[in-house]
Amino acid sequence: MEFRIELIPGVLDFTSWRLFYLICSVPSLLAFIAFLFFPESPKFLMSRGRTDEALEAFERIYMVNTGKPAHTYPV
């Protein structure tokens, strides 16, 4: 049995192997999109001398982990 849909007749066919590639690429695409929203690590920021940004990252981590406001972060 062959799966085939003609998207542009005579030019582009959507076949079973293209469907397989599409399905296999979805996790990578989702990971790439999620990666865009992740902040830099505090270790990286501190190694670059960006300590204020590192402190903000630590405060965000503190807020997520404890549920407390950022101003209560014990520095």
25 CA to centre of own chain: 14
Same domain, 14 and 32: yes
First to last CA, the chain: 65
Same domain, 44 and 74: yes
What pLDDT does 55 receive? Answer: 94
Domain enclosing residue 61, as ranges: 39-75
Same domain, 1 and 32: yes
CA distance 72 to 58: 12
Helix (H) / strand (E) containing 15:
strand 12-15
Report residue 13's pLDDT band, with 50, 70 and 90 as the boundaries. confident
pTM above 0.95, yes or no: no
Same domain, 51 and 66: yes
Same domain, 24 and 51: no
Same domain, 58 and 71: yes
- b/e for 29-60, b at 16 or more Cβ within 10 A? eeeeeeeeeeeeebeebeeeeeeebbbbbbbe
Report residue 8's pLDDT band, with 50, 70 and 90 as the boundaries. confident
